Every structure is written in C-alpha cells, then in structure tokens.
C-alpha cells in the first residue's frame, strides 16, 4: 500500500506519517522539495531525528544546497525506492504536489534543460497569462519568472492522459482558514525561536547563490533582511504572508491535480483524526 499525506505547513502531516508508519510497518519518503536539502532544517520544519521513532526515512537531506536538485532528479530517486521496497507499505509525506505527481504518475520529463526561448520581450504578467493558457491549473506564481519560462519551454512529449503508475491513496490534512492561518503564523514564530535567523545567516555568510535559497520561504525573506532591504519584523511578516499564500496555492493545485481525500484535523485530540484516516484507509484497501 502506498499512502500520500499532504497539506499545508502546521497541520500535522509529520505526526500522521509517524503514527501510520507504526501501524502499517511502513517506510517514509519525503515529498517536500526543500526538505531534500541538507541544512534547511528549521525553515522547512524538517522532522528531527528524535521524532523519527526508528522508522526509516528516505529523500531527506540528500542534496547540497549549492546544487539544483530538480523534480526530474526526484522522480528517478523516488522510483528507485519504490522499486526496492515494492513489498513494503510506503508513506509519502510533504506538500510538493509536482514531486508526488512525478513519482507516482506517468509524468514524462526531458533531460534537456536549456530554454529555447527566453521571452525577454514579455513581462511577468504576460508570461503568466501564456502559462495559464497552456495549463489553467499550473501552480507557478506570477512573479516566478524562471519557472514560468521553463514551463513555457517544456515540450509536450506525450499526449497520453495522466494516470497513476502506482496504486496510491491520497490523504490531505486541512483546517478552517482562520485556524490554519493562525497555526502558520504561530509556526513561523516558533521557527524564529528555534534559531531560523542564525540558520539562514550561516548560508548568507557563505555567499551561496542557489535556486533553493532564492526560492525557499523563510530564507529568501531573511536574505533581504541581511541585505538591509527590510527590517527583521518585516521579514517575519513576509514569511508569514508568503506561507499563507503558498498554502492557498497548494489547495488549488491538489484539488485540480490529484484525488485527495481531505480531513479536518482535530488539534485538541489528534487521535480522532488518526482514527478517521485509518477507517478511510481500511475501506480503500478492502
């Protein structure tokens, strides 16, 4: 059985993955694009060693932050693990929907990454409009010019419909918007208390200019603070704002791209949520 646990930050994905792994004697595979990288720990809310409870975890901390680990790399690595442990229960956990889709669906990539058109004559807004015309449900932000260009240059290799290569059950954890946003804000405050500024500063001082650090929420905002462009309080508020916006985009993407069964989390008694998910999984697996 393959179980995919997704949802925005702060809803209990990690906790649920551990509890289900204990019940089903499963291994856990990371499906968060930034938790791939070594050292991006606090800002990505990466699971701590003390929280793993002896359960094997894969595709965490496997790439140097200076490198560009792509979704194509993830597809190859995830499928190696799926092949190696095909007789075991497997749990994917994380909110990077494209990574899950690349691993589990007949998603085809070209190894050629050189753009055929740099679109210098178009604004970000015009690029975004073109990208939406190509795929109305594409999840790329309007200001992410590089990703928009790569998306527009990507060749449609196959006209076949997208379908699952591996039988998987998709579980989404959610909460009412006001509760979710309050938890996201509280999570950011907790990250600052745990030392996020020092973690980000350690990379800034090394003068690392990588895609991971330029795009990861929590680091790119603090880099602006280190550059004296904004205050520390403004950086914190921006991290909260960008995290909330990212959560909204995640919901939109998953609702259009995958058959996710959503569960409202009972934060007062997480066992109630666990019981609901277990019951659903038993129904799907019967």
For 135-187, how does the pLDDT look when each residue is reduced to its tens digit (9 = 90+)?
765 668 888 888 888 888 776 544 456 788 999 999 999 999 999 999 999 99
Where in the chain are the domains? 2-109+157-285, 112-156
d(C-alpha 208, C-alpha 188), whole Å:
23
Of all residues in the chain, what percent carry a pLDDT higher than 90?
63
pLDDT band at residue 257 under the 50/70/90 scheme: confident
Query: How many other CB atoms sit within 10 Å of the CB of residue 220?
Result: 18
d(C-alpha 209, C-alpha 154), whole Å:
25
Could you tell me which residue, 81 or 155, shows the higher pLDDT? 81
- Classify the C-alpha dihedral 146-60-97-182 as positive or negative: negative
Mean residue pLDDT across the chain: 89
pLDDT at 286: 63
d(C-alpha 16, C-alpha 154), whole Å:
36
For 198-240, how does the pLDDT look when each residue is reduced to its tens digit (9 = 90+)?
999 999 999 988 888 888 999 999 999 999 999 999 999 999 9
- Classify the C-alpha dihedral 17-102-95-263 as positive or negative: negative
Total residue count of the chain as it appears in this document: 286
CATH 3.40.50.300 given to domain 2-109+157-285: yes
DSSP 89-140: EEEEE-S-HHHHHHHHB-----S----S---TTS-HHHHHHHHHHH-TT---
């Amino acid at each position: 059985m393959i179980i995919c646990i997704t949802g925005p930050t702060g809803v209990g994905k990690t906790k649920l993955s551990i509890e289900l792994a204990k019940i089903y004697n499963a291994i856990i595979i990371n499906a968060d694009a930034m938790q791939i990288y070594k050292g991006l720990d606090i800002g990505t809310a990466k699971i701590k060693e003390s929280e793993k409870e002896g359960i094997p975890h894969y595709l965490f901390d496997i790439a140097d932050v200076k490198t560009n680990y792509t979704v194509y790399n993830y597809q190859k690595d995830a499928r190696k693990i799926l092949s190696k442990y095909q007789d075991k229960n497997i749990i994917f956990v994380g909110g990077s929907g494209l990574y899950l889709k690349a691993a589990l669906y007949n998603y085809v990539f070209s190894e050629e990454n050189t753009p055929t058109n740099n679109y210098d004559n178009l604004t970000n807004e015009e690029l975004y409009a073109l990208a939406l015309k190509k795929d109305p449900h594409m999840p790329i932000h309007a200001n992410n010019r590089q990703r928009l260009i790569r998306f527009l240059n990507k060749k449609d290799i196959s006209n076949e419909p997208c379908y699952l290569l591996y039988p998987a059950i998709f579980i989404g954890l959610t909460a009412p918007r006001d509760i979710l946003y309050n938890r996201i804000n509280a999570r950011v405050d907790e990250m600052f208390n745990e030392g996020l500024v020092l973690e980000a500063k350690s990379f800034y001082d090394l003068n690392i200019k990588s895609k991971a650090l330029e795009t990861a929420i929590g680091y790119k905002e603090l880099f602006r603070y280190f550059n004296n462009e904004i205050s520390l309080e403004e950086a914190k508020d921006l991290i909260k704002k960008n995290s909330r916006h990212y959560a909204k985009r995640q919901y939109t993407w998953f609702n259009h791209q995958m058959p996710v069964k959503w569960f409202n989390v009972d934060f007062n008694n997480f066992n109630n949520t666990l019981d609901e998910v277990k019951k659903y999984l038993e129904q799907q697996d019967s």
